[in-house]
Amino acid sequence: MSYELYFVQRSPNKIRKEKLLSFFQSNLWQVDTRAEQRDAFEVIYKNPLSKTTFQLNILDNNPGEQKEDGFYFSGILFSVEYAKPTFFAYEAMLILEEVCQAFDLYVINPQDYEIGGDSKPKNMNADAFTASWKENNKIKIHNVYEEMGVTLPYLPEDIGMAIWQYHLNKRTVTDRLGPAYVAPDYLFYQEHRSGVVKRAIAWTEWQAMVFPPCDYIIISQSLDYISYQALRESFGDYLQKINGPIDPLYTFNLQYADDVQRIYENLKPSGQLIHTHKKVMLSECVDVPDERKIHNEAAGTLDTHASSQQPKGKTTNQFFKQYRQSHTGENSENEEKQTTSSTKSKKGHDADNMNSSDVLEKNAAFSRENDVVLKRQTVKIKDLTFSSFVKWNIFLLLFIGILAGLITFGLSYMFSEQFNVTVLSMTFDSMTVGIASIFVIPLLFMILGFIASIILYVPLWLGLRVVNGLRLKGAFEIEPEI
């Protein structure tokens, strides 16, 4: 089941294939050129963060031969599937706005007749065409419920849109907090009884987390979980609210990592998802409920503490523009205007909510240009890369070798006139030996360091595996590429 659109233009001239291919040169597009047709190809859009996907087909046609009401058929066709969360369609329509602006295209919607439209060429408007998709999607889904008798995983639209915004822009949160923090992806579990989809995040081993609104926090590989409300009650004032793509977002300060870790290690599960839910993919969810199965009380079981609200000061469209700029480097004039207005509204939002600033100020001592310093903390070392292990051994022995070489040179200089050294019938004075020692001795020490690293690394690596990590307490500095 697909929602389809086709595109028309004012000009009778075919858009050049090279121009189209140049536009689609991005890692979000997959181009399939059809060798048997000179100007025909297929383009598939896939966003790995939001999971959104849709398809464009470019036909090998002559627009001048297909004129109607002053418009020429461009040969470009679009399709996006039904039975998806609404944000799939919305993201697709936002991308189509870019396509239409780039090539001066208009849109004809063949589904118009199903919802009372006129099927005439229109300017591409993401909100209007998303609304059209929603109306047609609702019809298709209800037909599935009534004719096939199946219940599709139900995820309310407002929650789906918040998930979309979070997945697209969660990287901005960890960029600000530093590399010690993890902003997890959502996982999705459908209740057996109601068909409602619940949001979960995985926290199955100790690490500094960012907590988006959710229903469950999974704390073990066997799907033991605590509820979002239990998280807030267990960690209390250690949780601090921060600004982000959705509201609320919580994390904790690294100053209190020891205390938070102790609480984490003593958490009591609220239940086990494996008995009451099944895991589903986000792309399988719909936001059209099956009224036969979902009752008001079932839909109302979503944790009120985990409700998702769109952040003040930014529209959903602006959030997508921000994502496009940060991930694809697009800087069109329209996007610059959007960014300017977005920045102005963000300033007002930051003035209203200073919790994020407080956390960042407290973490300033721990974050310096993407490095994180942990003072009086316990760090668990679970693995060790060979390259870093070798590097520091070689550096250490090189330093020792340089010192040894300088000492040898000094001694040779002191006695340079008192003795000579004969090797293989060649005579060297002690000054020559001393100078050579500055280079030879450090080199020998470096070679010894490399050999020692190989001998020591294997038992150390195996030892960390056997004891499941080594705990060290002190002051540590975490660097992105050590």
Q: Do 7 and 128 have their domain in common?
A: yes
Tens-place pLDDT, residues 88-97? 999 999 999 9
Query: Within this chain, do residues 115 and 38 fall inside the same structural domain, yes or no?
Result: yes
Q: What is the dihedral of CA 261, 267, 273, 275, to 10 degrees?
A: 140
What's the CA gap between 105 and 76, in Å, rounded? 10
Give how many domains the chain has, as a whole number. 3
Q: What is the mean pLDDT of residues 175-181?
A: 90
Residue 155 has pLDDT above 80, yes or no: yes
Query: Which three-class secondary structure string do you get for 227-259?
Result: EHHHHHHHHHHHEEEECCCCECEEEECHHHHHH
For residue 209, give the 3-state DSSP assignment. strand
State whether 82 and 222 are in the same domain: no
Residue 92 is assigned to a structural domain of this protein: yes
Peptide bond between residue 245 and the one before it cis (omega within 30 degrees of 0): no
- pLDDT tens for residues 198-208? 999 999 888 89
**Mean per-residue pLDDT for 148-167?**
92
Cα atoms found within 13 Å of the Cα of residue 324, Cβ hemisphere only:
19
Q: What is the pLDDT of residues 371-406, one digit of tens each?
A: 444 444 455 565 666 666 666 667 777 777 677 666
* Cα Rg, the chain, nearest whole Å: 31
Residue % of the chain over a pLDDT of 70: 64
Nearest to 158 by CA among 307, 304, 296, 303: 307
Render pLDDT for 212-243 as a digit per residue (tens, 0 to 9). Answer: 999 999 999 999 999 999 999 999 889 999 98
Same-domain check for residues 196 and 228: yes
Between the two ends of the chain, the Cα-to-Cα distance in Å is 50
Q: How confident is the model at residue 84 (pLDDT cuts 50, 70, 90)?
A: very high
Task: Give the pLDDT of residue 206.
Answer: 84
Q: Which of 130, 194, 140 is nearest to 160 (CA)?
A: 130
What is the pLDDT at residue 335?
Answer: 37
Instruction: Give me the pLDDT at residue 120, please.
Output: 83
**136 shares its domain with 192:** no
Contacts 24+ apart (CB under 8 A), 322-326: 322/169, 323/49, 323/168, 323/169, 326/169, 326/171, 326/172
E strands, 20-66, in order: 29-33, 41-46, 53-58
Query: Mind listing the pLDDT tens digit for each residue in 36-76?
Result: 567 788 999 999 999 999 999 999 888 888 777 889 999 99
- Does a structural domain hold residue 156? no
Any domain includes 91: yes
C-alpha to C-alpha distance for 476 and 365, rounded to whole angstroms? 12
pLDDT at 156: 94
The answer, yes or no, to whether residue 78 has pLDDT greater than 70, is: yes
Q: How buried is 328 (Cβ within 10 angstroms: 0-12 exposed, 13-18 middle, 19+ buried)? A: exposed
Torsion of CA 403, 405, 407, 413, to 10 degrees: -150
Shared-domain flag, residues 24 and 108: yes
The model's pLDDT over 123-154, given as tens digits with 9 standing for 90+, comes to: 999 999 999 999 999 999 999 888 888 889 99
Coil/strand/helix, residue 221: coil
pLDDT in tens, 232-274: 999 988 999 998 888 889 998 888 888 999 999 999 999 999 9
Domain termination residue (choose one: 94, 113, 148):
148
Q: Is 44 helix (H, G, I), strand (E, B) or coil?
A: strand
> Phi, psi (5° rounding) for residue 419?
-155, 160
Domain's final residue, options 148, 180, 196: 148
**Closest among 141, 49, 158, 63 to 105, alpha carbons compared:** 63
* 271, 404: one domain: no
What's the pLDDT score for residue 213?
A: 94
Q: How would you label 182-197 residue by residue, b for 16+ Cβ within 10 Å and e otherwise?
A: bbbebbbbbbeebbbb
Between CA 309 and CA 244 the distance in angstroms is 11
Residue 21 lies in a domain: yes
What the block records as the tokens of 354 is 């200073």
Per the CB < 8 A criterion, the answer to whether 113 and 119 are in contact is yes
Q: Which two tokens stand for residue 240?
A: 């601090």
We report the CATH number of the domain holding residue 111 as: 3.30.310
User: Is residue 330 included in any domain, yes or no?
Assistant: no
Band (pLDDT 50/70/90 cuts) for residue 26 is confident
Pair (26, 134) in one structural domain: yes
Give the C-alpha distances (Å, rounded to integers) separating 389 from 78, 403, 441: 53, 22, 22
Tell me, what's the pLDDT at 388?
A: 64
Lowest mean pLDDT among 15-24, 56-65, 327-336: 327-336
Instruction: Fill in the DSSP letter of residue 309.
Output: B
* Cα–Cα distance, 356 to 67 (Å, whole number): 57
Residue 413 has pLDDT above 70, yes or no: no
Q: How many residues does the chain have?
A: 482
> Does residue 75 form part of some domain?
yes
Query: Hey, what are 82's tokens?
Result: 């039904």
Q: Does 347 lie in the same domain as 401?
A: no
Is 87 contained in some domain?
Answer: yes
The answer on pLDDT for 292 being more than 90 is no
For the ranges 170-184, 341-355, 453-467, the lowest mean pLDDT is seen at 341-355
Q: Which residue has the tokens 């039904």?
A: 82
Based on the domain organization, do 231 and 98 belong to the same domain?
Answer: no
Residue 394 domain-assigned (yes or no) = yes
Q: Domain range holding 392?
A: 380-478
Percent of the chain with pLDDT over 90: 38
Give the sign of the dihedral formed by CA 39, CA 44, CA 47, CA 50: positive
Q: Average pLDDT of the chain?
A: 76
Residues 220 and 343 in one domain: yes
**Are 78 and 182 in a shared domain?**
no
